[in-house]
Chains A and B, each alone.
Chain A
């Protein structure tokens, strides 16, 4: 149980392109999903918290107009990297928790999206 699917797994595109990444909870409903970015040999850094039916909460230093988040249903959140540039190249990972917002339940992660901007 608690499977999170992320798509696509890899994207290579030209600078200036906008890229959409999908995150789905397959066997549970997720009121809250999280988006992380991970650079090589580094830890996961939280970018934003995605709340179903409301606006996402962005971490300090993350541009909300650059990284658009939509949480349209209890099983789907999307991250759109708008007008991507080479410095946006990274490994983007989503997660979802199966319990209520502040309960002590582990977040379950997707397998990430490797984004490469040429």
Chain B
């Protein structure tokens, strides 16, 4: 998801279902990608990362998929829980630098 103006895209998901959050990036020089979770009033929390030489990486209940051909990144959350409600950001980094560029964010709302 990408932001449009001041409106964050929102994904509403039933508790226990799987969530998929999408992110498009434009910089073909990016070689490292990270997903962060941000709860209200807090800083971003690292979830999972992936390097450009991989197309899939799994963590605990989360999977990141990278499609370099179409410059697309996704985060899959299995068995979504109420504690997963937050704003999720993708971030990318160029090989030649150390700066992160953040995507617009997607709000995930978990319905009980």
Give the number of residues in B that approach A within 8 Å (Cβ atoms): 29
A112 CA to B45 CA in the complex, in Å?
A: 12
- Out of B31, B41, B103, which one reaches A104, CB within 8 Å? B31
A59 to chain B, nearest CB (A): 8
Residue interface bits A84-104, CB-to-B below 8 A is 1, else 0: 000000000101010001101
* CB within 8 Å of B: which A10-44 residues: 32, 34, 40-44
Query: Are A107 and B6 in contact, with the CB atoms below 8 A?
Result: no
Chain A interface residue count: which class?
A: 20 to 34
A53 to chain B, nearest CB (A): 16
- Out of B7, B46, B89, B105, which one reaches A106, CB within 8 Å? B46
A110 to chain B, nearest CB (A): 5
The chain B residue sitting closest to A103, CB to CB, is B98
Query: Are B99 and A93 in contact, with the CB atoms below 8 A?
Result: no
Cβ–Cβ < 8 Å partners of A77 in chain B: none
Query: Are B102 and A44 in contact, with the CB atoms below 8 A?
Result: yes
Query: Are B7 and A43 in contact, with the CB atoms below 8 A?
Result: no
A49 CA to B51 CA in the complex, in Å?
A: 22
The chain A residue sitting closest to B98, CB to CB, is A101
A112 to chain B, nearest CB (A): 5
A93 CA to B3 CA in the complex, in Å?
A: 20
Chain B residues with a Cβ under 8 A of chain A: 3, 6-8, 31-32, 34, 36, 41-46, 49, 51, 89, 93, 95-105
